[in-house]
Amino acid sequence: MTEPMDKAGTDRRRFLKGAAVAGVAPALAVAGASQAQAQAAAPRHMPSALPPTAHTIAAEVGEPAELNRIGGKPGSDFMVDVIKTLDIKYTPSNCASSFRALHESLINYGENKAPEYLSCMHEESGVGMAHGYFKITGKPLMTMVHGTVGLQHATMGIYNAFCDRVPVIIIGGNDMDAASRPPGVPTFHSALDINVIVRDYTKWDDTPTSLQAFAQSMVRGYKIAMTPPYGPVAISLDAGLQQEPIGAHGSGLYIPKFNMPSPPAGEMGAVKDAARLLVAAENPVIVADRAARTPKGVGLLVELAELLQCPVVDQANRMNFPNTHYLSRPAGVISTADVILGLELSDFWGTVNAYTDNGEHGIGFNSTKIKPNVKLISINSVELLTKSNYQDFQRFQTVDISMPADAEATLPALIEAVKAALDGDRRRAIEGRIEKAKKGYADIRAREQAAAAVAWDASPISTARLCMELYGQIKDLDWSLVASEGNVSNWPNRLWKMEKHHHWLGRSGGYGVGYGAPASVGAALANRDLGRFSVAIQSDGDLMFAPGVLWTAAKHKIPLLSVMHNNRAWHQEVMHVQRMASFRNRPSNYGNDDGPIGTMIQNPDIEYHKLAQSMGWWAKGPIKDPAELGPALKEAIAVVKSGQPALLNVWTQPR
């Protein structure tokens, strides 16, 4: 007699046979045990519908319940051996069938240690966590994605990492053999070449077809990712290669030894020419973007600036230079420069030129920010890796001295060349700049503090008060601002005392919305291991792109203080639509949200504190009265110190 089908069309006998093969018969339900006995023994979190017992499987399927064992060590175990040689501490990933064999090997054969599997709700979150983690530790993480669809989910995170020059190791599961892979969903999720999806914005990719090739690809990919300019790499991994036993030739497998590559430094002739220009200049200026790869880089830049008594503009895509140093300056200082040294500038053209959009025809007006005949020097490793499709390389800027090299690796030689070029007269002239520089710095700080006081008691809360109330309560901790997404008028960089490399991790790189929350959690994971306090200023629209990462933080006990910059809008787009309407001399169609239609996050207002609470966070809000902000911050900070994540939903001014 044919077994009846349930509503979903599932044949029970076929399901039970599959369950036996897949090993889902519960360990706690012994053969012959009753359903009542099994339920009494079940932990609180067991599902109400119990899996079949071994006895039931044997009776209904007519086959023994024990699993068929593969003959020998699976290929994915050897892959784990390779991965462990690279000292990858975590693998934040969303689980999937195409890398199930490697997943099982990591958690059982590899004992879920180095790397430890971190459960993510979305592939973009896995990449974003790896992105933030690297910017604290200088070490890349590995994330796994599922074939075509998983890699498509991960793409924005990968593009951010590429633009931000951050190494991430992406393993993409794929069923390559059309003759053996299952039809239906696994085939929809497979491709001849999944890496083509991200090839334009990864540094390197490969598709190994043997275990030995995987060993070489993994070590080679790690080396390429960790050679400046850093960047993500992708390895497509066949499911069959993971699942099949190693076989008779397994004894010949070996793991290549990894040695950290030396970063490329500038050619000495160009370094000496640059030093002579800088020493001879009356008003040299240094502009740094992603120059300090490590804490050592910050110290080197301070040493060079003090040798030249030269102002430094930190473009805030990374912590390069202490903002408490008297030589720290805003971007406007370049207008007086006669020599500009650009260190790892993502946009040298935009540094020295201005573009004014006329708002209508897509044709803007260019103007210069610098004096005529200014000498331009560039040290930039990105020139070693320029691709043709995505336009992250920006406009072309002619410079007088160009060094395609890593800035941090070049700074020691440049410092020595500057010392050699300094004679007594130039040294005295340069030292004469000190008092003027200190006075200029003090004037700037006074103006910034006065500006921050404007609308201090406003409700919704001003972004200056949000940032300064927060800083007032964390400034005596070993703190790290792991992300600041959304426009808070740059108050942390203007007024917080940022002196250490981990004080500010910079922005996303590709300006992709959805970076802030995952990168914050990844950086907080790294800071947790180092005993630091992590804080993020989290914008509302950014969080809604990847809210599932809140669960990951709670699940893995990652302490993080997330303070919402909840201006209830995609405010940058509010301004774009308003400006376009102004150019066209017509009123904006506001609708019911007090802003242009399609730009507001209101009616209903998202209760971010309840969203966070639903995923295991301590949370509070909405906080609209500025007088309530300080006490709420104190509560939240105590929670984070106890080892939990906490979120404050703060209603803020637009920017």
Q: Is 496 a residue whose pLDDT tops 80?
A: yes
In a domain, 469, yes or no: yes
Q: Is 478 a residue whose pLDDT tops 50?
A: yes
pLDDT digits (tens, 9 = 90+) for 135-182: 999 999 999 999 999 999 999 999 999 999 999 999 999 998 888 888
Judge contact between 426 and 280, C-beta under 8 A: yes
In a domain, 214, yes or no: yes
pLDDT grade, residue 70 (50/70/90)?
low
Nearest to 651 by CA among 450, 458, 453, 454: 458
Q: Is 551 a residue whose pLDDT tops 70?
A: yes
**CA distances for 364 relative to 264, 351, 360, angstroms:** 37, 17, 9
Q: Is 646 a residue whose pLDDT tops 80?
A: yes
**CA distances for 36 relative to 29, 32, 50, angstroms:** 10, 12, 10
Give the lowest-confidence range in 68-72, 228-232, 393-397: 68-72
pLDDT digits (tens, 9 = 90+) for 452-462: 999 999 999 99
Helix-strand-coil split of the chain, %, nearest 5 = 45, 15, 40
Say what the pLDDT of residue 51 is.
64
In a domain, 596, yes or no: no
pLDDT digits (tens, 9 = 90+) for 307-326: 999 999 999 788 999 999 99
**CA distances for 535 relative to 229, 485, 523, angstroms:** 28, 12, 10
Q: Is the same domain home to 502 and 623?
A: yes
In a domain, 6, yes or no: no
Q: Is the same domain home to 620 and 637?
A: yes
Q: Is the same domain home to 224 and 342?
A: no
Between 223 and 56, the more confident residue is 223
CA distance 92 to 238: 20
DSSP letter string over 469-506?
A: HHHHHHTTS-EEEEEE-S-STTHHHHHS---SGGGB--
Sign of CA dihedral 558, 224, 510, 122: negative
CA distance 523 to 527: 6
pLDDT digits (tens, 9 = 90+) for 238-267: 999 999 898 755 678 999 999 999 999 999
pLDDT digits (tens, 9 = 90+) for 80-106: 999 999 999 999 999 999 999 999 999
Judge contact between 89 and 476, C-beta under 8 A: no
Amino acid at 336: T
pTM over 0.95? The answer is no
Q: Is the same domain home to 628 and 503?
A: yes
Q: Is the same domain home to 192 and 232?
A: yes
pLDDT grade, residue 196 (50/70/90)?
very high
CA distance 621 to 648: 6
CA distance 92 to 311: 41
Q: Quick one: three-class SS letters along 343-398?
A: ECCCCHHHHHEEEECCCCCCCCEEEECCCCCCEEEEECHHHHCCCCCCCCCCCCCC
Give the lowest-confidence range in 121-135, 288-302, 564-578: 564-578
Sign of CA dihedral 246, 251, 253, 259: positive
Mean pLDDT, all residues of the chain: 89
Number of domains in the chain: 4
Question: Longest C-alpha distance within the chain, in Å?
Answer: 104
Say what the pLDDT of residue 12 is.
37
Q: Is the same domain home to 422 and 354?
A: yes
Q: How many helices (H) and strands (E) does the chain have?
A: 24, 19
Q: What is the CA radius of gyration of the chain?
A: 28
Q: Is the same domain home to 299 and 439?
A: yes
Q: Is 644 a residue whose pLDDT tops 70?
A: yes
Picking from 416, 444, 472, the residue at the C-terminal end of a domain is: 444
Picking from 252, 281, 308, the residue at the C-terminal end of a domain is: 252
Reported as type and span, the H/E element at residue 623 is: strand 618-623
In a domain, 147, yes or no: yes
Q: Is the same domain home to 420 and 314?
A: yes
Q: For 47-55, which contacts have Cβ atoms below 8 Å and span 24 or more sequence positions? A: 50/26, 51/19, 51/24, 51/25, 51/26, 52/16, 52/19, 52/25, 53/25, 53/26, 53/29, 54/25, 54/29, 54/30, 55/31
The neighbour count for residue 39, using CB atoms within 10 Å, is 13
Say what the pLDDT of residue 358 is.
65
The CATH number of the domain holding residue 469 is 3.40.50.970
pLDDT digits (tens, 9 = 90+) for 420-441: 999 999 999 999 999 999 999 9
Q: Is the same domain home to 396 and 462?
A: no
pLDDT grade, residue 58 (50/70/90)?
low
Size of the chain, expressed as the number of residues it contains: 655
CA distance 356 to 354: 7
pLDDT grade, residue 360 (50/70/90)?
low
CA distance 91 to 170: 10
pLDDT digits (tens, 9 = 90+) for 2-53: 334 343 334 433 433 444 444 443 333 333 334 444 434 444 455 555 666 6
Say what the pLDDT of residue 44 is.
47
Question: Which residues fall within 8 angstroms of residue 162, CB to CB, at 6 or more apart?
Answer: 201, 202, 203, 231, 232, 390, 392, 509, 510
Q: Is the same domain home to 48 and 173?
A: no
The token pair at 431 is: 């030292």
Q: Is the same domain home to 627 and 557?
A: yes
In a domain, 591, yes or no: no
Say what the pLDDT of residue 13 is.
38
CA distance 123 to 293: 26
Reported as type and span, the H/E element at residue 577 is: helix 571-583
In a domain, 45, yes or no: yes
Give the lowest-confidence range in 307-311, 468-472, 557-561, 600-604: 600-604
Nearest to 81 by CA among 256, 231, 337: 256
Residue 5 DSSP code: B
CA distance 263 to 412: 13
Which structural domain, as residue segments, surrounds residue 171? Answer: 75-252
Judge contact between 63 and 17, C-beta under 8 A: yes
In a domain, 4, yes or no: no
Q: Is the same domain home to 468 and 556?
A: yes
**CA distances for 604 relative to 427, 466, 577, 608, angstroms:** 64, 23, 22, 12
Q: What is the mean pLDDT of the segment spanning 530-539?
A: 97
Say what the pLDDT of residue 206 is.
98
Torsion-angle region of 362 (φ positive above 0: left; ψ -120 to 50: alpha; else: beta): left
The number of CA neighbours under 13 Å toward the Cβ of 464 is: 13
Say what the pLDDT of residue 148 is.
95
